[in-house]
Amino acid sequence: RVRTERAKQLNALCSNKTIAIGRTVRCTLHKPSRLLQVKTVLKQRYGVLCCCLCAMMDEQSKRQRRAIASANEEQIERGFARATKFVQIVLAKENRTFDKILLEHCENLRVIRGGVRCELFVHESLCNRFGTLHGGCISTIVDVLTTCALLAMDDERSERGGGVTTDLQISCVKAAPMNTYVQIDAICKRLGRTMAFAQCEIRSFNPLLNKNDENDDDENDDDDEDRGFVVAYGSHTKFLGNTGPRL
């Protein structure tokens, strides 16, 4: 009712200007990122007449931001549930697949921006004869964890079961000694209709020094100085066919 009365007052004062403002507002509601720019133009052109409409724009923008945030949280929860279910299937007692050995030593799997993160204990069974993390294990890390990342992000096509590998590349930078920890970041770069692309980075990790870094703030993700040295990195391309049960 208040909006209607204000609109009538504006129409009575200056119908042409109100129509122009209304058109601008309707365009702006579909592009919240232009809100400040359009509000500035409105105030310069129409002065006090646009105050109530600017307030309406602010309220609409707030509702849209809340709705987007809520939808993102729900998508993250569903993605984490799918990634967790994938890990549980691999770690099942009756399962004897190759990737089970790796996931038995993974800890604290969680969803970060664009993918997943976890820590891996460099157990003796994952090492080569030199006492460092085996290159074959690194390949499996990139394969399995990027699959988790794709499952976490692929909300609409989760029935594809994670897809199958078409290309897998790794680069080993520095050795990770036995009985230490590494931190793994697997990020989904692009999800198409039939193909998916992901990247993975493995860094040294000290659980004593980084025990307070459980919130995974996005501001600290790019601060390489506070993180360990790079052990290896890789990329993974997958075909998203109907390759498994719905997760």
Residue-wise pLDDT for 173-209, tens only, equals: 999 999 999 999 999 998 888 888 999 999 999 887 7
Average pLDDT value for residue range 142-160? 78
Q: How confident is the model at residue 14 (pLDDT cuts 50, 70, 90)?
A: very low
**pLDDT surpassing 70 at residue 238:** yes
Residue 29 has a pLDDT of: 45
Residue 101 has a pLDDT of: 87
- Span of 27-31, 91-95, 96-100 with lowest mean pLDDT: 27-31
**pLDDT surpassing 60 at residue 221:** no
Residue 39 has a pLDDT of: 57
CB atoms within 10 A of CB 188: 22
**Strands of the 181-191 sheet, one edge to the other:** 106-112, 115-121, 181-191, 195-205, 230-239, 164-172
Residue 71 has a pLDDT of: 63
- Span of 73-82, 101-110, 188-197 with lowest mean pLDDT: 73-82
With contact defined as beta carbons under 8 Å apart, do 235 and 150 qualify?
Answer: no
**pLDDT surpassing 70 at residue 3:** no
- Please report, rounded to a whole number, the percentage of residues in the chain having pLDDT higher than 90: 32
Q: How confident is the model at residue 245 (pLDDT cuts 50, 70, 90)?
A: low
Which is higher by pLDDT, 70 or 203? 203
Residue 90 has a pLDDT of: 87
Residue 15 has a pLDDT of: 45
| Residue 246 exposed, middle or buried by CB count within 10 Å (0-12, 13-18, 19+) | exposed
Residue 198 has a pLDDT of: 94
Average pLDDT value for residue range 47-66? 61
Residue 93 has a pLDDT of: 86
Residue 126 has a pLDDT of: 93
**pLDDT surpassing 90 at residue 232:** yes
Which is higher by pLDDT, 202 or 32? 202
